[in-house]
Chain A
Amino acid sequence: MTEAKQIAGPPATLVEPIDMSQLDSNFRDEIRSMPNGEELAACFACSTCTAACPIANQWKYKPHQLIRMILLGMRSEVLNSKEIWECLTCFQCQERCPQKVRITDILFDCKNLAADEGKVPEKILALAKELIDKGQLYVVTADWEREDLGLQPAVPGLSTDGIKQILRETRTGKLAGGGT
């Protein structure tokens, strides 16, 4: 009996136990109501998505774990993870999912929720500012190259005002501070 007393503290586990009090049970419904989130609950954690992902080896949270975390309600961990922003959007996980869970699309939904809370990586935010200020991501600098090839010097038909006007009124405007 004295031996049993020596085993103090929580039992050894392979993974960090989840703190149930921190779970947000609405998170799964939130994602399911977003574009292509409907099939979320069909995930049976086979981890085929993780096998398909070319960069999962360097992620703390693998794709199948991120889906499981959403189902469990680990909202803060998912929305603050670097993984959602490093997703290559190559859609290999989504292509192979036997349950038709639209994993890549769901990670886009997660990024939108993170962005709504103002959590956007600095360089992505810089791209948003480019769109608001310049109305395009790339600007022609070497117009002589275009002329050499018999092309119009400026980008043909590109309107920068339309996109600026639209995005000033949507979340991009809020994130980028309205633009100039």
Chain B
Amino acid sequence: MPMYNLYMGCSVPANYPNYEAAVMKVGEALGMEFEYMTDVACCGSPNLRSIDYFGWLVVNGRTLAIAEKNGHDIVTPCNGCFGSLKDVQHHLKHDEKDRSRVNKELKKMGLEFRGTVKVRHVIEALYTDIGIEEIQRKITRPLDGVGISIHYGCHLLRPDDVTEFKPEMLDALVRATGAKVVEYPLWKQCCGATVLPVNEPLAIRLARDKIRSMKEAGAEFATVVCPACGNQLDLQQVGLKDSYGEVYDLPVLLYPQILALALGINEDAIGLRMNRVPADSILPHLKG
């Protein structure tokens, strides 16, 4: 049974306990042993990287060094945390000067960064360690071919030499549940989350364009794998009625919620009612 250091971050537990619950349930059903990391800090988000690069290196270098103590890979369900940890890992491995500067700070806490554990998104661990075949074998209530559009999230995909993630992995995982992947023109576009603090109307426009593009392509549902993207596409969608006079009614599910349903897990156990745009319309699409 693969064991993982589970790094939850701060946004998922605070804003998306339904995501957290779905990850735990899916892990349980597929034999992934998630152990919450202890004494770890918030990653600081790209905002910390913008104003205090060195502080960002030390904060995330510390989390990486803590994981190295038991040697298990770090998995996280948040693209923001994934991007921060992965980028810091990449930088510290390639920049000796910064590595020794960071290690000087970590030494004061009795820690050392060596770069011996991998940082992975929960989705990639599902794809690589469990695999599509095994997932399909465990599915008891497959979806009926309903169309789902995927928003991968920028920091999951790019820069690809750092993230080492391929969009095809999530495509395959969505198809494994029996759903159809609906491609749409703006698939690469950002959800707008990062620009929220400095230009809110722009952030909302980006989210709206994205939702509209999915809807026009014929998607009945959308899926995301990040709490910040979830905020933009699900929560902001509710506000579009006032700001744009537009109603899309496009339910947005966190991918592990979809997988959990297909694995026969009850919708209450994964907090389906907490999704902002009502998402229970997915239930009639489950077979069996």
List A residues at the B interface (Cβ < 8 Å). 35, 54-55, 58, 82, 85-92, 94-95, 102, 104-105, 108-109, 111-112, 115, 120-121, 123-128, 131, 135-142, 145-146, 148-151, 155-160, 162-163, 166-167, 170-172, 175
Q: How far is the CA of A123 from the CA of B45 in the complex (A)?
A: 14
Query: Known contacts A115-B52, A124-B51, A172-B51: does B159 contact A149 (CB below 8 Å)?
Result: no
Distance between Cα atoms of A3 and B99 in the complex (Å): 68
* Bound-complex Cα distance A35 to B44 (A): 18
Please tell me if B262 contacts chain A, counting CB pairs below 8 Å.
Answer: no
**B269 A54 Cβ-Cβ under 8 A:** no
State whether B198 touches A158 (Cβ < 8 A): no
Contact A167 B55 (CB under 8 A): yes
Please, which residues of chain B bring their CB within 8 A of the CB of A158? 8, 10, 13, 40-42
Chain A residues whose C-beta falls within 8 Å of the C-beta of B155 in the assembled complex: 89, 91
Partner of B271, one of A136, A145, A167: A145
> With A90-B154, A137-B11 in contact, is A85–B54 under 8 Å at CB?
no
* B residues adjacent to A (C-beta < 8 A): 8, 10-11, 13-15, 17-18, 20-21, 24, 36-42, 44-55, 58-59, 62, 91, 95, 98, 105, 109, 154-155, 157-160, 188-190, 192, 194-195, 197-199, 202, 206, 269-271, 274
By secondary structure, the B interface counts as helix
Tell me the bound Cα distance from A157 to B36 in angstroms: 6
A171's closest neighbor in chain B, by CB? B52
The CA of A89 and the CA of B44, in the complex, are separated in Å by 15
Known: A105-B159, A137-B10, A149-B18. 17 other contacts (CB 8 A): A35-B95, A35-B98, A54-B206, A88-B194, A90-B190, A91-B159, A108-B53, A112-B50, A112-B51, A149-B21, A156-B38, A157-B36, A157-B37, A159-B39, A162-B39, A163-B41, A172-B51
Q: Which residue of A lies closest to B11 (CB)?
A: A138
A169–B199 alpha-carbon span in the complex (Å): 30
A167 contacts which chain B residues (CB < 8 A)? 44, 48, 52, 55, 59
Contact B154–A88 (Cβ < 8 Å): yes
A146 and B17 contact, CB distance less than 8 A = yes
Question: Which of the residues A88, A95, A135, A160 comes within 8 Å of B159, measured between beta carbons?
Answer: A95
